[in-house]
């Protein structure tokens, strides 16, 4: 199984950015550990602060990979273009958020992406990414 984690704006600052909300671990350190936990899964990672680059990454992987784990950061709450890209590709996308967006500001309560995603995993810290991977593995077991 081949999965890609696509991270949007400001997520390159994980570990340094608002640690009380997002924790103090860098994504690279988290990812190293995550990859070790799933030796049977090929896990790629792409991060960009640029909306169009996130869309390009969805187009590039959305016809090839088995699944996409997408944390679009603040674009979640604003981007019709990313929502359209998710809708345009056949590969299932799981939306992920580190923080519980529903316990934060009102503008974070809307996701333009969620209706086009397979599901959403929200508020479990960095572990949200691990749970998203698990969701793809559970599906595999059901279909086998
Ligand atoms: C986030 C939540 C968004 O509201 C915020 O803009 C982010 C991170 C999260 O993972 O909790 O950048 O997607």
Per-residue pLDDT of the chain (144 residues; tens, 9 = 90+): 999 999 999 999 999 999 999 999 999 999 999 999 999 999 999 999 999 999 999 999 999 999 999 999 999 999 999 999 999 999 999 999 999 999 999 999 999 999 999 999 999 999 999 999 999 998 655 554
Q: Crossing angle, helix 51-61 and helix 80-88, to 10 degrees?
A: 10
Mutate to test the pocket of ligand 1, among 99, 106, 113, 124 (most ligand atoms within 8 A of CB): 99
In the block, which residue shows the tokens 């990812």?
31
* Residue 97 Cβ < 6 Å to ligand 1: yes
Domains along the chain?
2-143 (3.40.50.9100)
pTM above 0.85, yes or no: yes
Cα–Cα dist 79/86, whole Å:
11
Strands, DSSP E only, in the chain? 2-7, 42-47, 67-71, 93-97, 119-122
CA of 7 to the centre of ligand 1 (A): 10
User: What is the Å distance from ligand 1's center to 142 Cα?
Assistant: 31
Q: Which residues are annotated as catalytic? A: 22, 97
pLDDT tens readout for residues 90-112? 999 999 999 999 999 999 999 99
Q: Is 99 touching ligand 1 by the criterion CB < 6 Å?
A: yes
- Tokens for 122? 């929200």
């Amino acid at each position: 199984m081949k999965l890609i984690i696509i991270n949007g704006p400001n997520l390159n600052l994980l570990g340094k950015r608002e640690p009380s909300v997002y924790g103090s671990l860098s994504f690279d350190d988290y990812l190293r550990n995550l990859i070790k936990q799933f030796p049977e899964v090929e896990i790629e990672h792409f991060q960009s602060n640029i909306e169009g680059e996130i869309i390009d990454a969805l187009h590039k992987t959305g016809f090839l990979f088995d699944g996409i784990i997408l944390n679009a950061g603040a674009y979640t709450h604003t981007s019709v273009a990313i929502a359209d890209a998710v809708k345009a590709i056949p590969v299932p996308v799981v939306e992920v958020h580190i923080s519980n967006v529903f316990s934060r500001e009102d503008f974070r309560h809307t996701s333009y992406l969620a209706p086009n995603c397979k599901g959403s995993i929200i508020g479990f810290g960095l572990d949200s990414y691990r749970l998203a991977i698990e969701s793809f593995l559970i599906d595999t077991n059901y279909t086998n």
